[in-house]
Every structure is written in structure tokens, then in C-alpha cells.
């Protein structure tokens, strides 16, 4: 992600026409695309570039770090900085909070609990979460609505060992995700996007024919080493997740 950040230039007027770290980033990017710095090739070190641009090494570091974050450069101590062989593009996509996504579109958010049951999870789920066989999980299925129309069908498994409080929550009133973000500290997670054919449960909830192609977003979140939840959200047909590159 080219952090882009502030437009404040804080330009240095001292020497030439320097304009800040963004100017250095842009010039470096130009050289990369112009093949002046070829893929896989090492570029000058920070100290040399600082001298060339007439600025402090810190400023060069800022610019090159930004390009490395964006995937254009590979940087390693001692090994130096190289132009990435794979000019892989990175896109930052914002994981929408469904209720906010709907309200941002001017719709009215609705929520309905479909099922809630505590019991042994399927092997596949246990494996995905790294839990021992026979682990008991809370299985919650729910529907998110936009102006009364089905928007997302959600199939969720929650580990009550990690978040015991979830068992006392009236999930008919409170969205499981809303409760979790409010009550579980920062956690890392994995995200997987795919296309799926709607099974009977999904199709009936989303009011579409069985086997319709639906967009699936699966998330697993962890608190430290302990798994919290595995949730798969099936979006109503036509859904598009967009971002800019």
C-alpha cells in the first residue's frame, strides 16, 4: 500500500528543488519502470541515494520503505535493496462490517438468527481451527438483511473455551460478530475468498435457486494461539467486492 499519507510536504527549500520523501519515491518508481533499475537488480544503498538526492538518509529510507510495502522492492539488511522480480500488485481491501456497509448504501439493516446449537463440530471444522477431535463448538447461523431483503447468510463456529461469554449472549438480538468485536481483544486471522454453489440452507435463506453462484468470504480469527471463530459469509447473488490498486 503506497501509504500516500499526508499531502503536507514540509518541503526542504535549502538546496535544489526537493519536495519530500514522496518525490524520492516517485523518482525511484520512475527508474524501476524505465528499467534503469532492472528487476532483480540491486539499487544503490540508502546513504548513496541520500547524497544523490541531497537529503538525509532517513528520508530515503521512508521512500524506499514505502515502495517495499507496496511490493516494488525487496529489502534485506546487508543484502541491500533489490527491485522485486515479481512486480506483484497489492490491493488493500477493507473488510466490510455488514451493518455499516448496508447503512452506507442507504439501506436499513436487519438481522435474524437462523439457528444456534452447541455440540461437536465436524472434523473439517476442527481441523481448520486446529482443535482436538470431539471439541464442542457453538454453531450459529444467521441472516443479514438490507431493507428486509436477504443480504448475507452467515455460518459460524465459535470456540466457547476461548470466549465463554458468548454462551450467555442472546444471539437472537445481538449479532455474533458485533459482540465479538466488542469483547475480544485484537486478534490475527486468515481470510479466504471463493465462489460457491448455494446449498439448500444458503439458497433458502438467500431466496435464490439452489446451486446459484454465491460469493463466499471465510474468516478464521485467533487470540494468541487459541482459535476464536470460523465464519463463512455467503453474499446474495450479484455481490461484488471492490477496491483500487
- State the cell numbers at 17: 528543488
- Least separation in angstroms between CB 80 and a second copy: 14
Residues 34-63 that bind DNA (CB under 7 A): 45-47, 54-59, 61-62
Contact by Cβ (8 Å): 141, 201: yes
Q: Which residues contact 37 (CB under 8 A, 6 or more apart)?
A: 28, 31, 43, 83
Q: Is 173 in the site for DNA (CB under 7 A)?
A: no
- Least separation in angstroms between CB 105 and DNA: 24
Q: Quick one: 39 or 54, whose CB is closer to a second copy?
A: 39
Indicate which of a second copy, DNA, none lies near residue 12 (CB less than 5 to 8 Å, by partner kind): DNA
Q: Quick one: 5 or 87, whose CB is closer to DNA?
A: 5
Q: Which residues contact 214 (CB under 8 A, 6 or more apart)?
A: 195, 196, 197, 198, 202, 206, 208, 234, 235, 236, 237, 239
- State the cell numbers at 162: 476461548
Q: Is 31 in the site for DNA (CB under 7 A)?
A: no
CA distance 208 to 214: 10
Residues 173-232 that bind a second copy (CB under 8 A): 181, 185-186, 188-197, 211-216, 219, 221
For DNA, which residue of 68, 125, 174, 223 counts as binding (CB under 7 A)? 68
For a second copy, which residue of 14, 15, 78, 94 counts as binding (CB under 8 A)? 94
- DSSP-derived letter for residue 179 is H
Q: Which helix (H) or strand (E) holds 153?
A: strand 149-158
# binding residues, DNA (CB under 7 A): 34
- Least separation in angstroms between CB 79 and DNA: 4
> What are the residues facing 158 on neighbouring strands?
138, 229
- Least separation in angstroms between CB 235 and DNA: 33
Q: Is 90 in the site for a second copy (CB under 8 A)?
A: yes
- Least separation in angstroms between CB 221 and a second copy: 8
> What are the residues facing 121 on neighbouring strands?
none
CA distance 89 to 87: 6
Contact by Cβ (8 Å): 62, 10: no
- Residues written for the chain: 245
Q: Is 107 in the site for a second copy (CB under 8 A)?
A: no
Residues forming contacts to DNA in the complex (CB under 7 A) are 5-13, 18, 20-22, 45-47, 54-59, 61-62, 64-65, 68, 75-81
Amino acid at each position: 500500500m503506497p501509504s500516500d499519507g499526508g499531502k503536507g510536504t514540509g518541503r526542504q527549500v535549502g538546496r535544489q528543488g526537493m519536495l519530500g520523501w514522496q518525490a524520492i519515491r516517485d523518482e525511484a518508481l520512475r527508474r524501476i519502470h524505465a528499467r534503469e533499475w532492472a528487476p532483480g537488480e540491486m539499487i544503490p544503498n540508502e546513504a548513496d541515494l541520500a547524497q544523490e538526492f541531497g537529503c538525509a538518509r532517513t528520508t530515503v529510507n521512508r521512500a524506499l520503505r514505502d515502495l517495499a510495502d507496496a511490493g516494488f522492492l525487496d529489502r534485506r539488511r546487508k543484502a541491500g535493496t533489490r527491485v522485486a522480480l515479481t512486480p506483484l500488485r497489492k490491493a488493500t481491501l477493507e473488510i466490510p462490517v455488514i451493518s455499516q456497509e448496508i447503512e452506507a448504501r442507504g439501506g436499513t439493516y436487519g438481522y435474524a438468527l437462523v439457528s444456534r446449537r452447541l455440540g461437536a463440530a465436524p472434523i473439517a471444522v476442527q481441523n481448520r481451527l486446529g482443535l482436538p477431535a470431539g471439541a464442542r463448538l457453538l454453531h450459529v447461523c444467521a441472516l443479514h438483511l438490507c431493507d428486509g431483503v436477504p443480504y448475507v447468510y452467515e455460518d459460524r463456529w465459535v470456540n466457547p473455551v476461548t470466549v465463554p461469554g458468548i454462551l450467555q449472549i442472546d444471539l437472537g438480538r445481538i449479532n455474533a460478530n458485533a459482540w465479538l468485536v466488542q469483547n475480544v481483544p485484537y486478534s490475527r486471522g486468515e481470510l479466504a475468498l471463493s465462489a460457491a454453489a448455494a446449498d439448500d440452507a444458503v439458497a433458502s435463506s438467500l431466496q435464490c435457486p439452489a446451486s446459484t453462484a454465491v460469493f463466499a468470504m471465510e474468516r478464521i480469527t485467533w487470540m494468541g494461539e487459541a482459535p476464536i471463530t470460523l465464519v463463512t459469509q455467503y453474499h446474495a447473488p450479484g455481490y461484488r467486492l471492490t477496491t483500487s490498486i
